[in-house]
Amino acid sequence: MTPSTQIREDLPEAFEILDPVWIAMPDGANLAARILLPRSASSKPVPAILEYIPYRRRDGTLLGDTPRHAYFAGHGYAAVRVDLRGSGDSDGILLDEYRKQEQDDAIAVIAWLAAQPWCNGKVGMTGYSWGGFNSLQVAARRPPALKAIIPVHATDDRYGDDCHYMGGGLLLGNLSWASTMTTFSARPPDPAIVGERWRAMWLERLGQSPPLLLEWMAHPLRDSYWRRGSVGEDYGAITAAVYAVGGWADPYTNCVLRLLANVKAPVKAMIGPWAHAYPHDARPGPQIGFLQESLRWFDRWLKDIDNGIEREPKLSAFIQESTPPASDYETRDGRWVREAAAPSPEARQAWYLGEGQLADRPLPGGAPLQHRSPETTGITTGEWCPYGNPGELPIDQRADDGRSLVFDSARLAAPLEMLGTPVLTLRVAIDKPVGIVTARLCDVAPDGASTLISYGVLNLTRRKGFDRSEPMVPGQPETVRIALNDLGQRLKPGHRLRLALSTNYWPILWPAHEAATLTLHAADCRLELPVRKAGANEGPDENPFRAPEAAANVPFTQLRRGRRERVIEEEATTGRTTVVINRDLGAYRLEEDGLEFDGRAVERFSLTEGDPLSARAEIEWHYRMRRGDWEIGTVSRTILTGDTRQFRVSVTMDAYEGEKRIFSRETTRDLPRVGL
Cα–Cα distance for residue pair 152/268, rounded to 1 Å: 12
For residue 546, being part of any structural domain is answered with no
pLDDT in tens, 624-636: 999 999 999 999 9
Q: Are 357 and 364 in contact (CB under 8 A)?
A: no
Q: How confident is the model at residue 286 (pLDDT cuts 50, 70, 90)?
A: very high
Averaged confidence pLDDT in the chain: 96
Clarify whether residues 511 and 401 are in a common domain: yes
For residue 547, being part of any structural domain is answered with no
Clarify whether residues 199 and 286 are in a common domain: no
Clarify whether residues 115 and 259 are in a common domain: yes
Q: Are 635 and 621 in contact (CB under 8 A)?
A: yes
Which CATH number does the domain housing residue 369 bear? 2.60.120.260
For residue 572, being part of any structural domain is answered with yes
Clarify whether residues 138 and 262 are in a common domain: yes
Clarify whether residues 502 and 607 are in a common domain: no
Cα–Cα distance for residue pair 99/103, rounded to 1 Å: 7
Range of the domain at 590: 169-219+555-676
pLDDT in tens, 468-520: 999 999 999 999 999 999 999 999 999 999 999 999 999 999 999 999 999 99
Query: Among 525, 342, 335, which Cα is nearest to 421's?
Result: 342
For residue 544, being part of any structural domain is answered with no
Clarify whether residues 566 and 587 are in a common domain: yes
Geometric angle at alpha carbon 616, from 615 and 620, rounded to 5°? 160
Say if residue 336's pLDDT is above 70: yes
Say if residue 3's pLDDT is above 80: no
Query: Among 232, 288, 399, 229, which Cα is nearest to 2's?
Result: 288
For residue 537, being part of any structural domain is answered with no
pLDDT in tens, 379-427: 999 999 999 999 999 999 999 999 999 999 999 999 999 999 999 999 9
Instruction: Provide, rounded to the nearest whole percent, the portion of the chain with pLDDT above 70.
Output: 99
pLDDT of residue 654: 98
Total domains present in the chain: 3
State the average pLDDT over residues 369-378: 97
Cα–Cα distance for residue pair 676/643, rounded to 1 Å: 11
What residues contact 109, with CB distance under 8 A and at least 6 apart? 23, 31, 33, 50, 52, 80, 82
Clarify whether residues 234 and 278 are in a common domain: yes
Length of the chain measured in residues: 676
pLDDT in tens, 513-559: 999 999 999 999 999 999 998 764 465 557 889 999 999 999 999 99
pLDDT of residue 129: 97
For residue 225, being part of any structural domain is answered with yes
Type of residue found at 218: A
pLDDT in tens, 34-93: 999 999 999 999 999 999 999 999 999 999 999 999 999 999 999 999 999 999 999 999
* Bridge pairing between strands 630-642 and 646-657: antiparallel
pLDDT of residue 537: 45
Clarify whether residues 65 and 190 are in a common domain: no
Q: How confident is the model at residue 113 (pLDDT cuts 50, 70, 90)?
A: very high
Clarify whether residues 157 and 191 are in a common domain: no
Clarify whether residues 161 and 289 are in a common domain: yes
pLDDT of residue 536: 42
Clarify whether residues 55 and 105 are in a common domain: yes
Clarify whether residues 161 and 282 are in a common domain: yes
